Amino acid sequence: MVKLGEKQECPHSLLPMRKDFNGTFINGNNAMAESHGDVIAYAWLFLANLDLPTRFETFERHSLRTGLVNGMPGKAFCTRRLEGETPIKMTSEEHPIPLLAPYRMGKFHLSHRIVLAPLTRQRSFNNVPQPHAILYYSQRTTKGGLLITEATGVSETAQGYPHTPGIWTKEQVEAWKPVVDAVHAKGGIFFCQIWHAGRVSNQDHMF
């Protein structure tokens, strides 16, 4: 949680709350409601809405920068549209391909073209996939559909976030097996996104 001119850290951990609540936690601390900031950016702090700056009546660039977050420089790619600039065309003149049309990808035959992209969940405590991942991935599986796992570390020093799954120990590999089996049981195609955060690895996350 970042406010203008100051940084506020939560004094507690969310781990104990997991026993009673299985949903998603986002701590905004009423920053926008109390007019401490114009936007709360999550994860890598990218702003996907290209027209967001033009919607701000008052725009202060420093309110969108947070310095170092988890060892990584916070960046907000916001620029005002230049006068007379031609908007980027987001459509094609070609005939659209239906999302539900089959597709052959190498030796894999996909029943449709909707893919579950890697989503960093940070719920693999001690870097070991948890039993709830079985339900998470199987719920999103369709016969012939492609799923890609969340970023999965290849070593203890590969991590950029806490509680991300790994695949460098036997315990981790064994924990992945029932997850993979659940996806395959429903006819899904499962890829593992192996991951190393490189120079932005944070030693605080190397548990």
* Burial of residue 143 (number of CB atoms within 10 Å: 0-12, 13-18, 19+): exposed
On whether residue 95 sits in a domain, the answer given is no
| Contact of 153 with 195, CB cutoff 8 Å | yes
pLDDT on residue 98: 86
Out of 60, 90, 120, a domain closes at 90
Q: Are residues 115 and 62 in the same domain?
A: no
- pLDDT, mean of residues 176-202: 94
Among left, alpha and beta (phi > 0; psi -120 to 50; other), residue 150 is: beta
Helix or strand run (H / E) with residue 55: helix 52-55
Query: Confidence class of residue 52 from pLDDT cuts 50, 70 and 90?
Result: very low
Out of 55, 90, 125, a domain closes at 90
Owning domain of residue 136? 103-205
Number of domains comprising the chain: 2
Which SS3 state, helix, strand or coil, does residue 69 take?
strand
- pLDDT, mean of residues 14-39: 58
Out of 38, 56, 90, a domain closes at 90
| Contact of 37 with 63, CB cutoff 8 Å | yes
- pLDDT, mean of residues 113-134: 95
Nearest one of 10, 18, 2 to 163, comparing CA atoms: 18
On whether residue 97 sits in a domain, the answer given is no
Predicted confidence (pLDDT) per residue in 128-164, tens digit = 999 999 999 999 999 999 999 999 999 988 988 889 9
Q: Are residues 86 and 44 in the same domain?
A: yes
On whether residue 85 sits in a domain, the answer given is yes
pLDDT at 118 over 60: yes
For 142, residues 6+ apart whose C-beta sits below 8 A from its C-beta are: 111, 112, 186, 187, 188
- pLDDT, mean of residues 113-131: 95
pLDDT on residue 54: 52
Q: Are residues 86 and 108 in the same domain?
A: no
Mean pLDDT of the chain: 74
Measured CA to CA, the distance from residue 3 to residue 37 in angstroms comes to: 6
The 10 Å Cβ neighbour count of residue 160 is 20
Q: Are residues 150 and 75 in the same domain?
A: no
